[in-house]
Amino acid sequence: MKHLVRVLVELLVLVQVCILPSETPSVKCLLWIFFQHRKEYASQLNVEDGAFASGYAHKFAVGTKVQAVWSDDGEWYNATVEALTPNGYYVYYDEWGNREEVDPDNVRPFQEGVVNPLLEAEKEAEATRQALKRKIAEAAVVDFQSKSLPEKLRIDPNDPEDVKAAKRKKIHAFKSKLRKEQLEVTQNKRQNAWQQFQTTKGKTKKVGFFSGRKKESIFKSPDDPQGKVGVTGSGKGLTDFQRREKHLHLKGAGIETED
């Protein structure tokens, strides 16, 4: 039935264009009405066909501001309905510029004041990165203040040629010195950062076996005069192990014997 109505509309438009001059006024009037409202009828037929095929009616019209779930992360984002499809909606995500077809269950009315945790976390991370960049730039400006060219070295158009040549040499030397100073400041900053890292690393306490034992040099003179320097344990006798004894407990006698 739907397709029949669609074909009828197209046929009437064709008749209006080709056969209208020879028709009666009533037919002309009817064809004129169909022709004027053909877009509205066509859009209604599209909506009804989609609802008939999918078994539901669309809640949101084209151009409606909604919130839709993005398939990549499953989060809700602000979007705009661009088209109605048999399976749902074709939406445009306003903040990201992506487009995709979304199931009707993953589309809801636009809600003011709803905060997306993932989006807020990304914004905070970006703000932190920008703040860190600003601090680094400000620190570089504080550490090194670029010196301006002295007034006496500026070339005056009325200066003689020999004076201009002398000023050019001095300007070149001034700029070279300025570059060296800036390079030294950069190197000192890197060196200080490395030293600070090493100092912090050295203060870290190590907890574990033998962590508190004092280190001794292997070249320390042994206590025994007969010992040799550089030989670990030199001059010491063999380790004296205590002899283990076995105790026998006699029942009823209350007497302990030793082997």
Full DSSP string of 75-126: -EEEEEEEEEETTEEEEEETTT--EEEE-GGGEEE--TT---HHHHHHHHHH
Token output for 100:
């995709």
Q: What is the pLDDT of residue 110?
A: 81
Q: Cα separation of 91 and 85, whole Å?
A: 10
Examine residue 250 and state whether it is found in any structural domain, yes or no. Answer: no
Q: Cα separation of 135 and 141, whole Å?
A: 10
Q: What is the pLDDT of residue 51?
A: 42
CB distance 65 to 78 below 8 Å: yes
**Does an H or E element contain 69, and which?**
strand 65-69
Q: Cα dist. 46→41, 58, 81, 84 in Å?
A: 9, 11, 16, 9
How confident is the chain (259 residues) per 10-residue block, as mean pLDDT? 53 51 53 55 47 58 88 85 89 86 88 66 82 67 61 82 86 85 77 69 55 63 68 66 63 52
Residue numbers of the domain that contains 69: 58-112
Q: What is the pLDDT of residue 115?
A: 59
Structurally, how many domains does the chain consist of? 4
Q: What is the pLDDT of residue 127?
A: 84
Decide which of 17, 33, 56 is a domain's last residue. 56
Examine residue 214 and state whether it is found in any structural domain, yes or no. Answer: no
Examine residue 208 and state whether it is found in any structural domain, yes or no. Answer: no
Say if residue 50 is in the same domain as residue 10.
Answer: yes
Query: In one letter, which amino acid is 239?
Result: T
Q: What is the pLDDT of residue 36?
A: 56
Examine residue 27 and state whether it is found in any structural domain, yes or no. Answer: yes
Q: What is the pLDDT of residue 50?
A: 44
Decide which of 155, 176, 197 is a domain's last residue. 197
Q: Which residues, 6+ apart, have CB-to-CB distance to 106 below 8 Å?
A: 68, 69, 88
Token output for 20:
């209208």
Q: What is the pLDDT of residue 91?
A: 92
Q: What is the pLDDT of residue 235?
A: 64
Say if residue 7 is in the same domain as residue 47.
Answer: yes
Token output for 207:
């907890």
